[in-house]
Amino acid sequence: MKRIILLFICLGIFSCKGDKSENINEVTSDTDSVSTKDILPEGLVNVEPVVLNLEEANKLAELPLSCIDTEYPNKLGQTLENKSALGEPHELHPAFYGCFDWHSSVHAHWSLVNLLKLFPDIEKKEAIREALKTSLSAENIQGEMEYFKREESDSYERTYGWAWLLKLSESLQSWEDPLGQELAQNLQPLTGLIVKRFEEFLPKLNYPIRVGEHTNTAFAMSFAYDYAREVENKQLLEAISKRAQDFYLEDDNCPFSWEPSGYDFLSPCLEEVDIMRRVLPKSAFSLWVDDFMPQLKEQDFDIDVAEVSDRTDGKLVHLDGLNFSRAWVLYGLAQQYPKQFGHLKNVADKHVAYSFPNIMGDSYEGGHWLGTFAIYALKEAGNKKEE
């Protein structure tokens, strides 16, 4: 009976063309906030949350600022159509050639934009602004367009890099600074191309990709949905909402005990929760969680952090990223529905507290990307302090 009710609620989203976009675009939430301390059960240790302050922001800015023009080592991930397709990273990707690979370069730029937005008086603000203006010039983005339009590049960075490109565009679009608007305009041709590729790809993807690494479908749709909501792209919102429900609405009993796999930096179960909290109305989402991950509603819910054995190993260090991405999903749930999920904030705090000390001074294997994951997790938590 519950499944029938859930399906009825969700079908109602699309039952009236006139109301469709408003329903999809709305983010429902609990009206009353609930303190984590008020709901933390006995026996669970209250974790002191990591706070993103100006001092930490200054440190975190060093990571992306130093790597966006660090060309080597570099992992191109290129399919060669012929020998003339060879080129150095800065020739192939004039905007996003640093930070080891294309998607890491994109989200390094996202990190710099968001640190500037959160802390306008950050220590190296002028260097950051100049670096962004240089990288994201109209000429450089045109060079990126030329690469993406190559015959063999239709699936390049699908869908992880696509998602981060839209997340970068979302941040620029919402930045109330003339530089932000200039850079958003420069990026728009590539943004439009990625939107088009999302809209073409999702209907052709018959089955979602449920892994803990780059190709996870739920992760990409979550970021793309946020972009579409920011710019009020109703067509993309509807395409993602429909496909997410096609993929995940009937899922039951996610095998969370199987996680993590050794190379995970995303949680297959929690990423699915993250997209469904966006696309389902509150009542339907609550019913869906009861079937998919009912343990999330338990006040004593807890999970162990993922432990990293070797931070110089580019794959094993993924688990630090998993701690941050788990945290941002749990923070998102706690922020949107504090009455039902406010207790999850403490679990998220524990995950961030474990991995955050490791990203400063880390080897390049983790240092070129983990700062972004930390910033995004803390941004979702709202753990920001100006002092």
Q: Where are the domains of the chain?
A: 2-13+24-385
What average pLDDT is seen over the chain? 90
Tens-digit pLDDT profile for residues 245-290: 999 999 999 999 999 999 999 999 999 999 999 999 999 999 999 9
Q: Which residue has the higher pLDDT, 314 or 16?
A: 314
Give yes or no for residue 26 having a pLDDT over 90. Answer: no
Mean pLDDT is lowest, of 32-41, 156-165, 318-327, for 32-41
Give yes or no for residue 32 having a pLDDT over 50. Answer: no
Q: Residues of the chain with pLDDT > 70: what percent?
A: 87
Q: Which residue has the higher pLDDT, 253 or 1?
A: 253
- The pLDDT score that the predictor gives to residue 65 is 95
- The pLDDT score that the predictor gives to residue 77 is 94
- The pLDDT score that the predictor gives to residue 11 is 58
- The pLDDT score that the predictor gives to residue 5 is 58
Mean pLDDT, residues 333-350? 97
Name the pTM for this structure.
Answer: 0.91
Tens-digit pLDDT profile for residues 163-196: 999 999 999 999 999 999 999 999 999 999 999 9
- The pLDDT score that the predictor gives to residue 19 is 43
Mean pLDDT, residues 132-158? 97
Tens-digit pLDDT profile for residues 319-330: 999 999 999 999
pLDDT band at 21 (very low <50, low <70, confident <90, very high): very low
- The pLDDT score that the predictor gives to residue 15 is 45
- The pLDDT score that the predictor gives to residue 364 is 77
Give yes or no for residue 36 having a pLDDT over 50. Answer: no
Q: Which residue has the higher pLDDT, 174 or 368?
A: 174
- The pLDDT score that the predictor gives to residue 274 is 98
The answer as to CATH 1.50.10 being correct for domain 2-13+24-385 is yes
| 132 contacts: CB under 8 Å, gap ≥ 6 | 109, 112, 113, 179, 183
Beta bridge partners of 385: 53
Give yes or no for residue 366 having a pLDDT over 80. Answer: no
Give yes or no for residue 298 having a pLDDT over 50. Answer: yes
Give yes or no for residue 147 having a pLDDT over 60. Answer: yes
pLDDT band at 359 (very low <50, low <70, confident <90, very high): confident
pLDDT band at 16 (very low <50, low <70, confident <90, very high): very low
pLDDT band at 27 (very low <50, low <70, confident <90, very high): low
pLDDT band at 53 (very low <50, low <70, confident <90, very high): very high
Mean pLDDT, residues 105-123? 97
- The pLDDT score that the predictor gives to residue 4 is 54
Q: Which residue has the higher pLDDT, 16 or 172?
A: 172
Q: Which residue has the higher pLDDT, 8 or 172?
A: 172
- The pLDDT score that the predictor gives to residue 382 is 86
pLDDT band at 360 (very low <50, low <70, confident <90, very high): confident
pLDDT band at 10 (very low <50, low <70, confident <90, very high): low
